[in-house]
Amino acid sequence: MKPRNPVSRRVFLSILGSASIAVGCARSESEAERATSKPGSANDTARRAPKKLSEIVIGFSQTGAESSWRVAHSKSVQEEAEKRKIQLLFADGQNVHNNQINAVNGFITKGVDIIVIAPQESLGWKPTLKEAKRAGIPVVLTSRGVDADEDLYETVLVADFVWEGRQAGEWLAKQTNGSARIIELVGTPAADVATMRKAGFAEAIAKHPDMKIIASQSGDFTRTKGKAVMETLLSAHKGEINAVYAHNDDMALGAIQAIEAAGLKPGKDILVVSVDAVKPAFEAMIEGKLNATVECSAVHGPLLFDTIEKIARGEKVPKRTIVPGKVFERDQAAALISTRPY
């Protein structure tokens, strides 16, 4: 099979054994080496020895470990790499955008075969992605997207974040007969996922004039910040709030702690709906404290590595693959918790 573009060409060639793991300007360097080496020389033979998929090196830049979802996402990717015996260099960005940029630049310099990015923020990636492209290293995005031309990356594997927000809004509209005073706990504002979950929810509640967002504030996708923000908002809006929409389960779990600390009953006095469907959210639903969660699958490993293998073989992959999810309600939690993979 012929590789479809220069980007996949490099991996294709490297799998065929034309180059060892290369550095930033890998293509020109290995081409220069090939041009100067004599046929049949030791170097030449080494470079031409077939390189198996198990010999490729992936550089993975992860946002960090901000939520239970994120930890499960990392685990899924790492376990799948191990299963397929593919070398994975893991860089924990510790939720700092520049750490991720530096990590990816490092992968380019090292000359990894494929770069995987789970971007903390969607802006600011263009120069780095251009550099990866120039070096002939395909980039795969997982869990979030970037604001950059599509030809700067191979593919993005994400959930339909607008759909998730819409599901949460429609669920809340149904439960409250279209009348609610809502606190929205927003994810990391610079992440596309936060913008889209916000937009989907806003779209759903716009059909109900008596559903009002009283306050909308970022809890950065973490339990600690979700709790702190909720404490502040509960005291600023005493007696006004009867619903929380959190962009992820961790912030919802933090908010639940704040609601209880304020002497109120989460799940009853204040309905709580969130996104992710992590096991701790199922536990909270069993306890009656969380009302519903919209699944955003964290199990990206198998799809990610199927995609990587296709790219490495020079096959065409769709620009975007949506990882599907569904809504789970409180009364389903006890029966389903044992089936949750994360």
Task: Tell which one of 14, 30, 67, 293 touches ligand AHR (CB under 6 A).
Answer: 67
Rounded to whole angstroms, the Cα distance separating 63 from 138 reads 19
Rounded to whole angstroms, the Cα distance separating 146 from 112 reads 21
Strands (DSSP E) contained in 135-209 are 139-142, 155-158, 179-186
Segment near ligand AHR (CB under 6 A); pick from 61-69, 98-106, 146-154, 203-211: 61-69
Q: Does 274 bind ligand AHR (CB under 6 A)?
A: no
Cα 146 to the center of its chain, rounded Å:
11
**Cβ of residue 150: shortest distance to ligand AHR, in angstroms?**
19
Nearer to ligand AHR, 51 or 300 (CB): 300
Q: Which residues contact 146 (CB under 8 A, 6 or more apart)?
A: 117, 119, 122, 123, 125, 129, 153, 156, 192
Nearer to ligand AHR, 160 or 315 (CB): 160
Segment near ligand AHR (CB under 6 A); pick from 24-32, 67-75, 120-128, 224-232: 67-75
Nearer to ligand AHR, 13 or 148 (CB): 148
Q: Does 248 bind ligand AHR (CB under 6 A)?
A: yes
By CB under 6 A, the residues from 140 to 159 that bind ligand AHR are 143-144
Q: Does 276 bind ligand AHR (CB under 6 A)?
A: yes
Question: What strands, in cross-sheet order, belong to the sheet with 292-295?
Answer: 210-218, 179-186, 243-246, 271-276, 292-295, 327-329
- Count residues contacting ligand AHR (CB under 6 A)? 12
Helix, strand, coil share of the chain (percent; to 5): 45, 20, 35
Task: Tell which one of 275, 292, 311, 333 touches ligand AHR (CB under 6 A).
Answer: 275
Given a contact cutoff of 8 angstroms between Cβ atoms, the answer to whether 319 and 140 are in contact is no
Task: Tell which one of 26, 117, 156, 193 touches ligand AHR (CB under 6 A).
Answer: 193
**Cβ of residue 66: shortest distance to ligand AHR, in angstroms?**
5
Rounded to whole angstroms, the Cα distance separating 181 from 104 reads 43
Nearer to ligand AHR, 187 or 267 (CB): 187
CA dist list (Å): 40 to 48, 87, 325: 10, 29, 54
Binding residues for ligand AHR, rule: CB under 6 A, are 66-67, 69-70, 143-144, 193, 221, 248, 275-276, 296
